[in-house]
Structures are given as structure tokens and as C-alpha cells.
Amino acid sequence: MEQQYTYFVGVDWATEAHEISILAADRKEIGGRSFENTAQGLHDMCTFIEETCGKDRDLVAIAIEVPRGALVETLVERGFHVYSVNPKQLDRFRDRHTVAGSKDDRLDAFVLADSLRTDMPCFRRVKFDEPDMIRLRGLSRVDNDLSESRNRLMNQLREQLMRYAPHFLKLCPSADETWFWELFEIAADPEEGRRLKLPTFRTLLSRHGIRRLTGEDVAAVVRQTPLTVAPGTIPAAITHGRVVIAQLRVVHSQMHSVRKQIANLMDALSETAPETKEHRDAEILLSLPGVGNLVAATMLSEASQSFAERDHMALRAHAGIAPITKRSGKRLHVIMRQACNQRLRNAIYHWARVSVQKDPTSRNKYTALRAKGHSHGRALRSVADSLLRLLFGMLKSKTLFDPPKRLAVAHA
């Protein structure tokens, strides 16, 4: 049943000052002010709400666009019931109050409060995650940022090699391996590379455990004649490349550290609860084929509320797996959902992709869908949808993935 409230507060969030509007149950505005985005300003806001609505915080519902941040955390810590709404929904709610398209902070605060009063099911109650989950989300997002930084730097290194020595990329097309960075530092200069002896290349490969190449293979590439370019181009490209490699080493080290922390935290979250002997969510998720620490960490942290509430449909929509249906008269059109959490979508995409490689049931489903003419992406989304159904069944029964049991069900 919906919570019954006596007062509805709309908060228009901003970087410098927050505008609030307080409505009674009969839609009458009984208070409104602007508060600075400072610790004292947030304290004054909570005090003002309490003075206007009374000390019983269970009778006060607060609407805001953002689901997290210092303002939201302050309100929740003070015991208020906070609800968030998508900014696109707020834009539609605003149209109900003014068809002229006018917009200001005070109006938005009023619209938030009034919309919460009349359309509470459209809002989502904000709840705090466990400290470990907040930390896991932070580590997962840091790893994502570091991966993007590494990719940009590797593209810069490849660009410098393409300027005068594209043949180097035959050894490591992505320029993403530490041994290749060391090779660039000692052999990027054509004259210096020709002077290096065969044992130098063999030692380099041995030190990094590279077995797909031999010292002779590397020497043959390094000693090739570079492209004919304008004077000064090669020294400039080498200098740029070495600067990029120095940055790559820092990012690589940071990624290693962050992923080790993620692995340790996932191990802690996967431990079976000793008091109930029940499997925890992280342990169940990691038991599925195609799920590694990074995918599991992203799913658990980005969709923590869906996991806590066992809300399968919410997770499908949040991850962009659930399609959008447009029906009008005799026309029916089903399209891919674009509005979603991109990090969650990418994690589930990679889960489905790897599952197709490792799980026979997923591979058979993918093959059948491709044979029907489905695109690669659409087939993977269907595989992901079936995997999510399996996951939530396991979560509800507190059981780990059992391949023989799944095959028996699939062939039944």
C-alpha cells in the first residue's frame, strides 16, 4: 500500500542554491524558500521543513530530480522520505501546469511537490545502499574511467607509430601490452633498433612471458626500413610516444590496484552467510557462466535496489534489455530501449557475449536467433534476457548455477 502523507515538498536542486516548495494535502502552498548549497544551508532547509510540517517526518514526502548526493543524503539522514523522478518525467509534469513553456526554479519546486502528491507511483523511493555496495560502485566506476583513459592513450601511441613505423603494430596491433611499450622505448628509433642484438629481444620476450613470438620475429620487424617522412617527424613521434607510455604505465598500475580491490571486495561479498548458510547475491551471480568480477561488480552496484527488491522487470528496463512497444490501431512496432544505464547495459552485453562462448544453452539460443535473421546485438539481448530470468530464479531460491540441471530443464 502507498504511504499516506500530509505534506509534500518539492526541491529544485542546483549547484549554488536549492529552491523548495511545501504543499499541504489540499494543494495549498504553505511554505517556500531558497537555501544555499552549503552545510549550513542544508541544515536550515531541514529545520525549515520541520518547523513548517511538524516533527513527524513520516508525514512528509520530498520530491527531487537527483537520486543521490549530499542534499539527498542529508534529507534521508534526517529521517525524511525522499522520492526521485526522471528529469524527462518532470518536463512532462511541468506541461500540466503551464502550456506557455515557462520555467523557473520556484515553478519546478512546486511542480515536483504537486506531482508527488498526485502521481506518487511515478516516483522512486530513495534508499541508501550498504557501505560495501557504495564502495564497490565507486571502484567499478573508477575502473571504467581508467579503461577509457588507457584506450585513449593506446590510440595516441598507435597514432605515433602510424606516422613513421606502422610495421611495429604487427607485433601488437592494439599497443596494449607492457612488453611492447618497453620495446618502443628501446627500439623506436630506427638507428638504435638496428644496433640491438638478438639476445636483447629474446630476453625481453622471456621476461614478459611472451611465447607467440620469437626473438627473430621481433628483430625482423624492428629492422625494417621506416616510412620516408619529413625531417624531424621521427624524433617528434618518438618523444610523444615515450611520454604516452609513461602515462600508460601509471594508468596500468592504477587499474591493477583497483581491480585487486574489486576482487577482494567481491570475495568478501561472496562468502556464504554463516548464520543462515544461504548463498549471497554476489556468490550466486559469480557462479553463472560468463560472469567475472568486473561484470558482477557493475551489475550489483548499479542495480543494487533491483537486486534487493528482487525486481526482475525493473532491472530489464534499467539495463535496456526490455524493448519499447509502440502500438497504435493496427500498427505494432517494437524497438530497442535507448534510455537506460549504459554501464549496466555494457556489463550485461559482455556477460551474454562470453556466455555464448562458454554455455551450450546460450550458444544454441544465439545460433537459433541468428538463423532467424536477428542481428548480433538483438540476439545477444535475447540471450541476456533469458540469463536474467535464470539469475532471478536462482536469487529467489538461493541456489548456485547447476549446468546439468539447466540442460535437463532446457530439453524437457
Taking the chain (412 residues) in consecutive chunks of 10 residues, what is each chunk's mean pLDDT? 80 87 91 89 91 88 86 87 86 82 83 90 83 90 95 96 95 94 94 93 95 94 93 94 96 96 92 65 92 94 88 90 86 85 93 94 94 93 93 90 68 44
CB 290 within 8 A of CB 354: yes
283's CB contacts (< 8 A; 6+ apart) are 269, 270, 271, 272, 400
Q: Strand, helix or coil at 291?
A: coil
b vs e for 327-340, b when ≥16 Cβ sit within 10 Å of the residue's Cβ?
eeeeeeeeeebeeb
**Alpha carbon distance 386, 371 (integer Å):** 18
For 253, counting Cβ atoms within 10 Å of its Cβ (0-12 exposed, 13-18 middle, 19+ buried), the class is: exposed
Q: Among 1.10.3720.10, 3.40.50.1950, 3.40.50.300, 3.30.420.40, what is the CATH number of 7-125?
A: 3.30.420.40
202's CB contacts (< 8 A; 6+ apart) are 214, 215
Beta bridge partners of 11: 20, 64
**Alpha carbon distance 238, 221 (integer Å):** 17
Alpha-carbon Rg for the chain, nearest whole angstrom, is: 28
What is the pLDDT, as a whole number, of residue 171?
Answer: 95
**Domains of the chain: which residue ranges?**
7-125, 136-255, 281-410
The helix/strand count (H/E) of the chain reads as: 18, 8
What is the pLDDT, as a whole number, of residue 1?
Answer: 45
H-helix or E-strand spanning residue 42: helix 39-53
What Å distances lie between residue 171 and 34, 122, 180, 314, CA to CA?
A: 62, 55, 8, 46
Cα 203 from chain centroid?
40
For 12, counting Cβ atoms within 10 Å of its Cβ (0-12 exposed, 13-18 middle, 19+ buried), the class is: buried
CB 378 within 8 A of CB 313: no
**Alpha carbon distance 174, 170 (integer Å):** 9
Cell numbers given for 288:
553463472
**Alpha carbon distance 230, 234 (integer Å):** 8
Q: Strand, helix or coil at 324?
A: strand
What is the pLDDT, as a whole number, of residue 227?
Answer: 92
Beta bridge partners of 21: 10, 32
CB 157 within 8 A of CB 314: no
What is the pLDDT, as a whole number, of residue 245?
Answer: 96
**Alpha carbon distance 85, 67 (integer Å):** 8
Task: Name the pTM for this structure.
Answer: 0.79
Which of 308, 312, 302, 324 is closest to 68 using CA atoms? 302
Q: Among 2.60.120, 2.60.40, 1.20.1630, 1.10.287, what is the CATH number of 136-255?
A: 1.10.287
Cell numbers given for 332:
505494432
